[in-house]
Amino acid sequence: MSDELEIYRHQGFATPLGLGQAPAVLVIDFVHGFTDPAHFGGGNIGPAIARTVELLALARARGWPVAHTRVVYAEDGSDGGAFAMKVPALLKLTEHSPLSQIVPELTPAPGETVFRKQHASAFFGTTLAAWLAFRRVDTLLVAGCTTSGCVRASVVDASAHGMRPVVITDCVGDRAIGPHEANLFDMGQKYADLMSLEELRGALARNTEAEVV
């Protein structure tokens, strides 16, 4: 791995983006269906949900915009595409299915927006980009699942929309740890900064100190 890391360093990857001036939090698909291994859950998704409770408390205390996403398909599956063709069980995630409901510990607060999507990226086919642009967001703090799927797709699109994506590493999870770790590495090299929640708190504290000086 050290030799592989040297290749990335030599080629100029992993330059830090840093935190901008206007953060928002995006919580991706933390719904009941992704907590249960009998459906789409497993791995470290449960611990990531628990940690995201703290991230939301931080965001709400600071008055940051917060967006949540759910995967929601029509009852008859008529809006399903290639994603649902590849994983047909996703069509169970309908508007009123218990599986598609956000877990209670992450219930959106008043003023937080829930975006419904049918594809991996939180941006594709939604108004998320316009919602963030209206709020002049320049830094998107990302939590959710799965790291290798909807988190990664959303991070790539956030970068393409001109934001600084920051993946909060202990607030994202996957049903298998191998894909989780591999995709964190790749996002950190190409598209996003990686920070644990404690590292985020430290960076915010340093920024505050710098402003005071």
Active centre residues (catalytic): 150
CA distances from residue 107 to 65, 71, 99 in whole angstroms, order as listed: 15, 16, 14
Strand partners, 35: none
Q: Residue 10, CB half-sphere, CA atoms under 13 Å: how many?
A: 6
Please, are residues 172 and 81 in contact by the beta-carbon 8 Å criterion?
no
DSSP per-residue string spanning 42-76? -TTHHHHHHHHHHHHHHHHHHT--EEEEEE-B-TT
Strand residues in the chain grouped as ranges (E)? 23-28, 66-71, 113-117, 139-145, 164-173, 193-195
Q: Which residues contact 206 (CB under 8 A, 6 or more apart)?
A: none
